[in-house]
């Protein structure tokens, strides 16, 4: 009797545990579309950090992380000044006037920046901004320091649009001569940044004119240049999406103010941002906000038959809007140091692909506005990929994404939060335990995450991943399991375990460098395949990520 009761309890316990296990199904025979490397794009405000010690190091690391070209976008390529960076400020002093009012071009600082790109093997996304002091029309002081950097006349329209166009032509001609036409033709040339807010002190019509003269100038020097814009802010704001629509109407129906010809447009750019807050003493992210931006922007573009197939570059796609605001300034920004940031990024990645498919548009890039800040405290909470040369956990989600290739394939998960629910209310009532999977020749990759907007402790999630569609002739597959969590691929927790040193010893620094790299959870192992399928048990802590790589 007691034995039967024990067996019954054991059976009920097993059934209950099974019911609680998240079931993820991956079907390699159901392709959804190409796994485009949309995560190989990065940017930052302070272009002068490019040539500094850790900036050069990080550029090379980004190149080495990705099997495809990495693109870099930076502000202030045309700003006047001494080349010394500050928060949200840099300068190249490329354009001044002599005593007779004639233009003087000085490419020394710009050449240093673009030389660093070339030496690292990355490609520039050339942002044509901001206004040189000699051309700026605004009455305000030219430079205003952080946090009021948008108040300066560096954001004003040009006094002379023809001179602005000639600046863009001269810059493009110089870069073509220095780096070669073939290289420059592979770049993207974007006109300005966020002209619908105080990054631009002019009107919509003045921005359209700025665009016309800029692209006419670039195309005069490089007819095959890939030009675009308008790099507007979050389309979930009706005023922002109205600006984007008005720009597309201008390109579709007007003639160029610069030359009376049709207006070139090779890609469309806008920005998508979340909105983290402190709620009851903890961070709550805003994934719904970033995905609603993409949803509204994609929907607007899809209404233009002539534009809906153009590449879309989210030339800033981030959990919030201020990379230079540290956790000391905004405590909610401490999410940037730990695993919440990469888990959010993984969930956003799938959401963006799903929205692209829904609207049948062509997403080329989700550019992470994150780089590094030279000479700041370790883990100060800036939105960065690395701190003082130490990679942060978020760097490793980009490493994971770069290890995926081929076709995106169908997945289902009993722990998934449906896309429409995320768009409506984020990921607050239950975690989003989901997957993004790819299938290439003789391999597959499955990215898993256990994400919730609220950064609160929670139990680990037992998960079972079943991969279907492995070729019939294959009887064993090799599994490599990479992990980001509290103890893997996480220099932040390693640093805190040391006592949070701001002057780590050489031995501590070496330990932190190693902790910042992508790490395996287990040794590679061979798994048996049955009827074209393999089952992989995984335990996912909250805000953790796993990358399962299968090869045969």
What's the pLDDT at 173?
Answer: 98
pLDDT of residue 140: 85
Assigned token pair, 421:
């629910």
Strands 476-484 and 545-551 turn out to be antiparallel
Cis peptide before 230 (omega within 30 of 0): yes
First-last CA distance in the chain: 50
For residue 130, cis peptide bond before it (omega within 30 degrees of 0)? yes
Tokens of 136: 């700026």
Range of the domain at 535: 22-30+406-551
Residue 428 domain-assigned? yes
Query: Residues 158, 159, 162, 163: what is their CA dihedral angle, to the nearest 10 degrees?
Result: -80
How far apart are alpha carbons 359 and 362 in whole angstroms? 9
Could you give the CA distance from residue 502 to residue 500 in angstroms, rounded to a whole number? 6
CA atoms within 13 A on the CB side of 6: 3
Tell me whether residue 476 is in a domain.
Answer: yes
Contact 59, 72 (CB under 8 A): yes
Is residue 165, in this structure, part of any structural domain at all? no
Which of 194, 290, 316, 372 does the annotation list as catalytic? 194
Gyration radius (Cα) of the chain, Å: 25
The per-residue pLDDT for 14 is: 36
Q: Is 157 helix (H, G, I), strand (E, B) or coil?
A: coil
Any domain includes 506: yes
Q: Is 46 a catalytic residue?
A: no
Residue 375 lies in a domain: no
In a domain, 319, yes or no: no
317, 352 Cβ separation under 8 angstroms: yes
pLDDT tens digits, one per residue of 394-403? 999 999 999 9
Q: Is residue 425 part of a domain?
A: yes
Task: Find out whether the peptide bond into 147 is cis, omega within 30 degrees of 0.
Answer: yes
Cβ count near 259 (within 10 Å): 15
Strands 226-232 and 267-273, how do they pair? parallel
Positions in the chain whose pLDDT score sits under 70 = 1-19
Q: How many C-beta atoms lie closer than 10 Å to residue 12's C-beta?
A: 10
CATH (domain of 445): 2.60.40.1500
Instruction: Confirm if 235 and 297 have CB atoms less than 8 A apart.
Output: yes
Whether 500 and 337 have beta carbons less than 8 Å apart is answered as no
Total number of residues shown for the chain: 552
Is 311 within the bounds of a domain? no
Q: How many structural domains compose the chain?
A: 1
Question: Which residues, listed in sequence order, are joined to residue 378 by a DSSP beta bridge?
Answer: none
Pairing of strands 41-44, 71-74: parallel
Q: What is the pLDDT of residue 2?
A: 38
């Amino acid at each position: 009797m007691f034995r039967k009761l024990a067996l019954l309890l054991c059976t009920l316990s097993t059934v209950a545990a099974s019911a609680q296990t998240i079931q993820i199904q991956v079907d390699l025979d159901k392709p959804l579309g190409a796994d485009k490397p949309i995560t190989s794009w990065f940017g930052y405000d302070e272009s002068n950090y490019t040539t500094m010690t850790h900036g050069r190091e990080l550029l090379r690391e980004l190149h080495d992380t990705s099997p495809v070209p990495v693109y870099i976008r930076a502000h202030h390529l045309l700003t006047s000044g001494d080349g010394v960076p500050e928060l949200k400020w840099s300068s190249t002093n490329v354009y001044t006037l002599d005593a007779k009012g004639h233009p003087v071009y000085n490419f020394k600082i710009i050449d240093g920046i673009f030389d660093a790109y070339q030496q690292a093997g990355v490609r520039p996304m050339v942002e044509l901004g901001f206004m040189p002091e000699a051309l700026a029309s605004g009455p305000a002081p030219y430079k205003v320091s952080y946090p009021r950097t948008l108040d300066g006349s560096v954001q004003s329209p040009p006094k002379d649009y023809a001179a602005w166009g000639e600046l863009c032509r001269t810059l493009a001609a110089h870069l073509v001569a220095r780096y070669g036409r073939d290289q420059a033709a592979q770049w993207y040339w974007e006109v300005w940044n966020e002209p619908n807010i105080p990054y631009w002190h002019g009107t919509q019509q003045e921005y359209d004119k700025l665009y016309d003269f800029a692209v006419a100038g670039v195309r005069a020097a490089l007819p095959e240049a890939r030009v675009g814009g308008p790099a507007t802010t979050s389309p979930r704001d009706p005023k922002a999406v109205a600006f984007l629509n008005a720009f597309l109407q201008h390109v579709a129906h007007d003639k160029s103010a610069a030359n009376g010809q049709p207006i070139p447009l090779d890609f469309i750019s806008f920005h998508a941002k979340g909105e983290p807050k402190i709620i009851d003493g903890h961070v709550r992210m805003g994934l719904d906000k970033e995905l609603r931006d993409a949803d509204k922007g994609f929907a607007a573009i899809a209404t233009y038959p002539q534009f809906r197939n153009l590449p879309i570059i989210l030339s800033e796609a981030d959990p919030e809007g201020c990379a230079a605001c540290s956790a000391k300034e905004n405590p909610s920004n401490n999410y940037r140091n730990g695993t919440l940031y990469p888990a959010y990024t993984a969930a956003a990645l799938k959401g963006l692909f799903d929205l692209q498919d829904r609207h049948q548009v062509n997403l080329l890039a989700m550019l992470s506005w994150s780089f590094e800040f030279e000479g700041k405290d370790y883990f100060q909470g800036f939105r960065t990929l690395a701190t003082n040369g130490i990679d942060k956990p978020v760097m490793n989600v980009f490493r994971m994404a770069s290890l995926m290739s081929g076709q995106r394939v169908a997945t289902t998960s009993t722990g998934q939060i449906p896309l429409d629910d995320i768009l409506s209310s984020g990921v607050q009532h239950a975690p989003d335990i989901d997957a993004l999977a790819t299938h290439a020749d003789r391999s597959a990759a499955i990215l898993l995450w256990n994400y919730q907007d609220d950064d609160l402790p929670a139990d680990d999630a037992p998960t079972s991943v079943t991969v279907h569609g492995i070729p019939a002739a294959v009887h064993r597959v090799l599994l490599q399991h990479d992990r980001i969590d509290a103890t893997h691929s996480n220099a932040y927790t390693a640093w805190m375990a040391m006592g949070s040193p701001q002057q780590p010893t050489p031995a501590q620094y070496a330990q932190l460098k190693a902790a910042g790299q992508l790490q395996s959870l287990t040794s590679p192992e061979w798994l048996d395949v049955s009827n074209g399928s393999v089952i992989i048990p995984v335990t996912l802590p909250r805000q953790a990520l796993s990358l399962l790589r299968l090869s045969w």
